[in-house]
Amino acid sequence: MKQLTALQQQARRSNSFRSASLPLDTSVDGAIKSPATIFWLVLHGLCCLISLVLGFRFSRLVFFLFFSTSSPSATTNLYSALHTRLPSSITTSPPAVNGTAVAVDGGSRVVVGRHGILIRPWPHPDPAEVMKAHHIIERVQREQRIQYGVKSPRTVIAITPTYVRTFQTLHLTGVMHSLMNVPYDVVWIVVEAGGTTNETAALISKSGLKTVHIGFNARMPILWEDRHKMESQMRFHALRYVREKKLDGIVVFADESNMHSMELFDEIQNVEWIGAVPVGILPHSGGSEGVELSAVSREDTDKNENSEMPVQGPACNSSNQLVGWHTFNMLPFMKRRARYVGDRAVVLPRKLEWAGFILNSRLVWKDVEDKPAWVKDLDMVGREGEDIESPMSLLENPSVVEPLGSCGRKIMLWWLRVEARADSKFPARWIIDPPLDVTVPAKHTPWPDAPPELPTPVVKVISIPENTEKRVAKRSRKRSSRSKRKRVPKVLEEHVSTRHSGDN
């Protein structure tokens, strides 16, 4: 008895124990050596040997085929493929789902024993069903959002200043896609420097969002400082539009080249009047210098106690109240800062970027009773062309700003400025329509709008690939090293390469 228990204990690895292949007499307690037992033992041994040779349990198969112990419903063969007519059998849908289990086994017992493994003839997913499943998942997620997400979500009013240039498509598409994914209503106000153009209009019409395209009658300057000022003015212009039209919602300053995460839009729903989110600053530089730079700054941060965090945003004390502001430490970059658009140096942000502020649109409305006392009227600010650095200038008292993003600790927005040279050429709407619009004159023509302190021509040649593909860059470098007349072949290269890109 003990031996048997021990044997069974040994063999038992999971929640049950399969007896030896003999389905008959299983209780071997005190087995008497009768002829029948000996016969079965011999047969068992024989089956074992055959199984060893064949590689599977032969005896089971024999018993299966000859002495079918299970009921007809259970088995035919070990791996029987069931002939199910899949599409037509869908008619037995929901009402039958619960019913089948009950109806079939109303009186019958479930049989113990070996059953076949039912496999349908084409065990692969049906695309229609996959689509249905995705719809189900989508609906479930929507329900979850309704249940646990923001109650009574407000419209998001996104303000984006833009102007036509090489990188406009890249940046604007990025913002557009972010806004298209926002699960709330969005009104997108695009302010364009230099007046509205068809190029921009064509781009933003693809969004499917409610867009407002406003022109701003001034050209975007080349120097970064001037550009920042103009952008502020453009945003202000958009705020005037909000005021005029009495748009209701939450104002977000979605700069083109910034990167917004979806959590940002969920977080801003919590704003009451004016909130501040932490912005991750990514000071950019156009070449390998930039990589070096960031590596250097990281080293510095390791050494220093006060690590220079590339974050601009609210700072709180332990009781989550606003006590101050983090600003990005620009000192290490001051020497290498970019001065004009397209410069290969570090583009620095201002002290507090507009992007980090979220406004309730009612703040800019006129004649609203429940506007808080500490907000200045929009018309009062920005007169005489003074520079409006940030929405803080709308406030009398800066301490009313609500810190969002778990009090400045969770960064859901990154600030980045990447631009090509102001005079770089690109095909209009990025469609190559021969004959090419761009005709660049032959050698040694001075570039129009030459900014002051231009780099030397040599460098210029190599810098052009910034706005075309890398292929071009490689080719041009090779070429430039070979021939002396660098400009002409380079320019031809450009034509050729752009044509290639159009053919693709």
Partner 1 sequence: MKKWVSAMLFYFAFCVRIEAFKFHKTQQTERISGSAGDVLEDDPVGRLKVFVYELPSKYNKKILQKDPRCLTHMFAAEIYMHRFLLSSPVRTLNPEEADWFYTPVYTTCDLTPNGLPLPFKSPRMMRSAIQLISSNWPYWNRTEGADHFFIVPHDFGACFHYQEEKAIERGILTLLQRATLVQTFGQRNHVCLKDGSITIPPYAPPQKMQTHLIPPSTPRSIFVYFRGLFYDVGNDPEGGYYARGARASVWENFKNNPLFDISTEHPTTYYEDMQRAVFCLCPLGWAPWSPRLVEAVIFGCIPVIIADDIVLPFADAIPWEDIGVFVAEKDVPKLDTILTSIPIEEILRKQRLLANPSMKQAMLFPQPDQSRDAFHQILNGLARKLPHDTSVYLKPGNKILNWTAGPVGDLKPW
Tokens of 35: 């002829």
Q: Report if residue 124 touches partner 1, rule: CB under 8 A.
A: yes
Alpha carbons 395 and 393: distance in angstroms, whole number: 5
Beta carbon of residue 64, minimum distance to partner 1 (angstroms, whole number): 10
Q: Report if residue 56 touches partner 1, rule: CB under 8 A.
A: yes
Cα angle at 160 between 154 and 166, to 5 degrees?
145
Residue whose C-alpha is closest to residue 283's, from 339, 347, 227: 347
Contact flags string 92-111 toward partner 1, x per CB under 8 A? -xx--xx-xxx-xx-xxxx-
Q: Which C-beta is closer to partner 1: that of 62 or that of 330?
A: 62
Residue whose tokens read 């070429």:
479
Q: Report if residue 76 touches partner 1, rule: CB under 8 A.
A: no
Q: Report if residue 126 touches partner 1, rule: CB under 8 A.
A: yes
Which span sits near partner 1 by CB under 8 A: 128-136, 348-356, 379-387, 477-485?
128-136
Q: Which of 7, 82, 454, 492 forms a contact with partner 1 (CB under 8 A)?
A: 82
Collapsed DSSP state (helix, strand, coil) of residue 261: coil
Q: Which C-beta is closer to partner 1: that of 2 or that of 303?
A: 2
For the chain, first and last CA: distance in Å?
Answer: 80
Q: Which C-beta is closer to partner 1: that of 97 or that of 380?
A: 97
Beta carbon of residue 9, minimum distance to partner 1 (angstroms, whole number): 6
Q: Report if residue 152 touches partner 1, rule: CB under 8 A.
A: no
Which span sits near partner 1 by CB under 8 A: 129-137, 158-166, 225-233, 268-276?
129-137
Q: Which helix (H) or strand (E) holds 287?
A: none
Q: Report if residue 136 touches partner 1, rule: CB under 8 A.
A: yes
Q: Which of 33, 148, 385, 449 forms a contact with partner 1 (CB under 8 A)?
A: 148
Beta carbon of residue 428, minimum distance to partner 1 (angstroms, whole number): 41
Q: Report if residue 31 touches partner 1, rule: CB under 8 A.
A: no
Other Cβ atoms within 10 Å of 267 Cβ, number: 20
CA dihedral 82, 86, 89, 92 (to 10 degrees): 100
Burial track 112-149 (b if 16+ CB lie within 10 A, e otherwise): eebeeeeeeeeeeeeeeeeeeeeeeeeeeeeeeeeeee
Q: Which of 116, 174, 194, 195 forms a contact with partner 1 (CB under 8 A)?
A: 116
CA dihedral 61, 63, 69, 74 (to 10 degrees): 10
Q: At what angle do helices 168-180 and 198-205 cross, to 10 degrees?
A: 30
Q: Say how many CA atoms lie within 13 Å of 303 toward its Cβ.
A: 6
Beta carbon of residue 122, minimum distance to partner 1 (angstroms, whole number): 10
Beta carbon of residue 100, minimum distance to partner 1 (angstroms, whole number): 5
Which residues touch 405 (CB under 8 Å, ≥6 apart)?
A: 264, 267, 277, 278, 313, 411, 412
Q: Report if residue 145 touches partner 1, rule: CB under 8 A.
A: yes
Q: Report if residue 75 touches partner 1, rule: CB under 8 A.
A: yes
Beta carbon of residue 149, minimum distance to partner 1 (angstroms, whole number): 6
Which residues touch 418 (CB under 8 Å, ≥6 apart)?
A: 167, 171, 257, 284, 286, 347
Alpha carbons 87 and 222: distance in angstroms, whole number: 64
Beta carbon of residue 302, minimum distance to partner 1 (angstroms, whole number): 32
Q: Which of 7, 19, 180, 454 forms a contact with partner 1 (CB under 8 A)?
A: 19
Tokens of 248: 């209701």
Note whether 400 and 142 are within 8 A (CB): no
Phi and psi dihedrals of 459, rounded to 5?
-65, -40
Q: Report if residue 141 touches partner 1, rule: CB under 8 A.
A: yes
Q: Which C-beta is closer to partner 1: that of 76 or that of 205?
A: 76
Residues that contact partner 1, how many (by CB under 8 A)? 68
Strand partners, 274: 359
Which residues touch 129 (CB under 8 Å, ≥6 apart)?
A: none
Beta carbon of residue 158, minimum distance to partner 1 (angstroms, whole number): 23
Q: Report if residue 140 touches partner 1, rule: CB under 8 A.
A: yes
Beta carbon of residue 50, minimum distance to partner 1 (angstroms, whole number): 15
Note whether 123 and 86 are within 8 A (CB): no
Q: Report if residue 54 touches partner 1, rule: CB under 8 A.
A: no
Q: Which of 20, 42, 45, 139 forms a contact with partner 1 (CB under 8 A)?
A: 139
Q: Report if residue 17 touches partner 1, rule: CB under 8 A.
A: yes
> What DSSP assignment string belongs to 386-418?
----SGGGGBS-GGGPEE-HHHHT---EEEE--
Q: Which C-beta is closer to partner 1: that of 130 or that of 202?
A: 130
Beta carbon of residue 59, minimum distance to partner 1 (angstroms, whole number): 12
Q: Specify the amino acid at residue 458.
A: V
Interface with partner 1 by CB under 8 A: which residues?
1, 5, 8-9, 12-19, 26, 29, 56-57, 60, 73-75, 78, 82, 84, 86, 89-90, 93-94, 97-98, 100-102, 104-105, 107-110, 112-120, 123-126, 129-130, 132-133, 135-137, 139-141, 143-145, 147-149
